[in-house]
Each structure stands twice: as structure tokens, then as C-alpha cells.
Amino acid sequence: EYLVRTRHRYATMYNDASPNEAHHIASSFHVMRSTGCKNGAAEENRRGCHDHLPMHPPVLEEEGTDVSSDEGTTDSDDDDNNNNSIRHNGGRPGDCDRWFSRDFLCRMSPEDFRRFRENAISMVLATDMTSHFSIVSEFQRLVPSVPSVGDHSREEVDKSTIDILLKTALKISDIGHLTATLDVHKKWVSRLEEEFFEQGDCERARGMKVSFLMDRSKPGVGKSQVGFFDIVVFPLFKAWVDVFPASEPLLEHVTENYEYWRSRESPPADDVSKSP
């Protein structure tokens, strides 16, 4: 929403539809279309898909360009004549003995690649939290209608069920720190809180209304974890474990971390005893 409200170039490029997630998946495929450098005999056994690459090096952008950063991207459209425009190696063109393709999917058949790309795009776009509840609802509706999904072969499960399974699996991975040990989980919550505060700083600097949980002068996400677990996390993980019981340890770790946050919201015993 922030990118849309600020009319960021990603919002313009992706027509306001999950611009951040759309940028991530587009950049991933862009990296695969780029080339790397082979130097020395040790690399000669790595047969790439494109041994026919020209001996001259690809056109490289300015040093330090990173497709994951705002500074490293432009509004210009990419085309086949500029598909090697990402700099990765830090060396100069003349430093390379031979260029190779990073496209590790290049030996896929056209049909397999089409299916892979279709799935990858839909899965990454599904990590946009604006679609969270609709995806969880669809998962709860679709998947239990197929008995013992985990025991079925791919051919026995229809495409719509496979799609929602993949989307939900990636959503669980996307918030995987919730299943980590408490010390790791707390570090990620702290990082997320700081990221939110930084957005709030930008909103305030632009004269915009500061978004919920993004105001440094107020409690951040570290103070709202119990509600987040209750409303967002538990329905997702419980639905997943209902279908895949072997995933029960994930839910157990989630519950342990939840108890930590709940204990922080509970008043100390002394305060309870003094309450009227």
C-alpha cells in the first residue's frame, strides 16, 4: 500500500498489484537471464546451457548495481537486447575468461518451464498480506475435501488444489521465523519492527498519516504479537497441520513462541494480587 500511495515506480510498473512481491519475482527471473564469469580450469567442468554465448562480455551496468535495491532498478522496460544488464562479479569485462548463463532452468521443456514460471509467480504474489485471509479461507475450503492429500500422487490431485497447497506452503515459509527458537524469532520481530518504523519515518517526512504499528512514538509490532498469532498465525498453521499431520512440530514451536509473548502481556503476580 505504501508503494501505491507514494506512486512509487514499482506501483506504476506493476499496476498497483502487489508491487513489492511482483518486483521480487520479476527480479529473480531477471537474474536467471543474466550471465556470470568462468575463470580458470576448475570451472571448465561446469557445462552451461548456453555454450554458444558470444565470446565478448555482456553489457554491464554501473558498478554496485543490485536488482534488489531501489537504486539498482529503473523504470525502463527490459528487452532481449538488454537481458544481461546486471553486474554480479565486481570485475571488469576484460577480467573474464568465459561467460556462462545463470539460467539453471534452461534445460526444462517449454511446457515445464511455463508451468514452473506460472507457479512461481502465483506463489510469490500470494505472500502479499493483503490476500492472506482469502488464501487461508480457500485452503480451508478446498484441501479438506480431498481425503489424505499427503498420500495422493500429483495426478490424483486437481490443479486448483495443488495451486492453493503451494501458495499456502510458501506463506508458511515466508513467516518461518515463527517456528524458530525463541532467540531467533525475537531477532526477526525486532528487525520487522524497525522496518515498520522506518516506513513510518518516511510517511511522516512526506506529511502522510503514519500507518498502524509504524509510529516510533507508539508501541510497535513487538507489542502486538499475541493478536497477530491469534488472528493470522494460528488459523494458518492449524489448517496446514490438519492436512499434513507430520507438520505438527511447526505448530508446537509456534505455540511456544506465542506463550512467550502472552506472558509479556500478563501482569506480574504481585499486580494481580493488588487488583480490586
Q: What is the pLDDT of residues 108-143, one digit of tens each?
A: 899 999 999 999 999 999 999 999 999 999 998 887
Report the pLDDT averaged over residues 96-119. Answer: 84
E strands present in 39-181: 98-101
Average predicted confidence (pLDDT) for the chain: 78
Share of the chain above pLDDT 90, in %: 54
What's this model's pTM, rounded to 2 decimal places? 0.71
Count of C-beta atoms within a 10 Å radius of residue 84? 20
Task: Give the pLDDT of residue 262.
Answer: 95
Higher pLDDT, 205 or 269: 205
Phi, psi of 275 (to 5 degrees): -70, 145
- Given a cut of 50, is residue 216 above it in pLDDT? yes
Q: Residue 94's Cα: distance from chain center in Å?
A: 36
Task: Give the pLDDT of residue 47.
Answer: 47
**What residues contact 108, with CB distance under 8 A and at least 6 apart?**
116
CA–CA–CA angle 145, 149, 153 (5° rounding): 125
DSSP 8-state secondary structure symbol assigned to residue 103: -
Task: Give the pLDDT of residue 230.
Answer: 97
Report the pLDDT averaged over residues 20-46. Answer: 73
- Given a cut of 70, is residue 71 above it in pLDDT? no
Higher pLDDT, 40 or 265: 265
Task: Give the pLDDT of residue 142.
Answer: 80
- Given a cut of 60, is residue 154 above it in pLDDT? no
Report the pLDDT averaged over residues 136-159. Answer: 71
Residue 266: pLDDT band (50, 70, 90) is low
Share of the chain above pLDDT 70, in %: 68
Report the pLDDT averaged over residues 223-243. Answer: 95
Task: Take residue 41 and report the three cell numbers written for it.
Answer: 580450469
Task: Give the pLDDT of residue 82.
Answer: 40
Q: Residue 221's Cα: distance from chain center in Å?
A: 19
| Sign of the dihedral defined by the CA atoms of residues 250, 21, 79, 87, in that order | negative
pLDDT digits (tens, 9 = 90+) for 220-230: 999 999 999 99
Residue 187: pLDDT band (50, 70, 90) is very high
